[in-house]
Every structure is written in structure tokens, then in C-alpha cells.
Structure 1
């Protein structure tokens, strides 16, 4: 499997099945440890920052990744914390797109 962060999202249709538990576990091994799988439907990470400015800058960067990939997470944030939930809403579960975007967030965090 090619590096996730080097891949691009592909459109899913409502016919696309969600990933199996086995596929989810295989893909999750390629991500940072802070990502959690919630009910085999959501890929979630919580990020802590030192202030609002840094939190907002991170949220904006994630939004840019989402825009470029045409795959959008649910993001909630406050003064010094942001939660990012990737899920493929059209299929009601996880797809490779969620892991690709999470890997791009990992790369962002590494920079």
C-alpha cells in the first residue's frame, strides 16, 4: 500500500461498502497513535494547543486539506483543543479517504 499521505481521495457512492474491521486495523497502523477508531465508523483525534491562535491555525489547515481532497471532517474546537472526526458520511462508515486525510493531518503535525 502506497503511503497514505501521498494518495488522494476518490469519490464514494452510496453503493460503496464501508471498510471491514480488518481493513480499518490495517490502515490505522499507518497513522499516528493519537487516532482512535469509534464504532468502526469514525476516525477521531483530539489535539491540544497552547492557545486559541494555534488551535485556529490548525483547524484552518485541516479545513484546507479537506477542501483540497473534497472530503470533509467534523471538527469541533475551543480555546486550546480541537477534535477531528473523519467519516465517510455517504456510506455510513470509514473509507480509505478517511485514512488518507488523517495521514495528511499527521504530516501537517510533523511539520
Structure 2
């Protein structure tokens, strides 16, 4: 697993924000900026991943459901969220489990948009 960060309470700040278009040309978030955002995305981990011959940070989390039907129903809700935010996670379905990976492709690492999307994914599950 990735680097876990200590978390005390979930903040609503990220859930109130919207993802903004990111066309690149800026650096990924620094470790200090990531550490400040992690308390707002409980259970997510920063995981370095090798992509296109370089390592970049991603946000990852696994969600467990009762069965395949519940997992797919949750993904249909994520589809609407991702489209409305203009930011799309990678996911892998294992029957009753869904693994999410989020990062900003245009900058090859993490952006505030990734944390906004992660917090809203959590919110969807809480409202199920």
C-alpha cells in the first residue's frame, strides 16, 4: 500500500469545490501540499506508480460492496459525478470490490482536482 497519512476529521471544504480544467504546464502537488489535503480524503492512500518510464503519485482506495450488482450501481453514480466534474478516475472491478486510482494525466501526478474527486466519491458512498 502507499504512504498512509494520519487523519482526524473529514473536512467539507473539498466537497464544496469543483474540478477546474488542467491543461498541464504546472507541476504536480508537492508532498507538503498533499499532506495538507489528505485529512479530507479518509481512507485514500498516496501510491507511487510507474507510468511512461517515470514514477508519479496517485490516490488509491478500495471500496467493498455486498455483491457485483451493488458495485456496478455505485460505478453508475461515479459516471455521472466524473462527467459533471470533467475528471475521470481509473477503476477496476473485482466482483464486489472496486479499486479506484486517481491522478491528473496532464501533469503526471496529483492536482487538487484529484482530491476534490476523491472526496466526492466518498460522499456518494455515504449518501447511498
TM-score normalised by length of structure 2:
0.81
Residue of 7, 31, 49 corresponding to 2:41: 31
Runs of 4+ aligned residues of structure 1 deviating over 4 Å after TM superposition are: none
For structure 2, which runs of at least 5 residues remain unmatched after alignment? 1-10, 49-55
Larger Rg: 2
Matched residue SS, 1:45: strand
RMSD: 1.5
| Alpha-carbon shift at residue 2 of structure 1 (Å) | 6.9
Cα 1:2–1:47 change in 2 (3 A) is closer
Q: Which has the higher strand share?
A: 2
**Structure 1: gaps of 5 or more residues:** none
- Residue 66 of structure 1 is aligned with which of 65, 78, 82? 82
For the residues of structure 1 that align with 2:12 and 2:73, how far apart are their CA atoms? 29
Counterpart in 2 of 1:57? 73
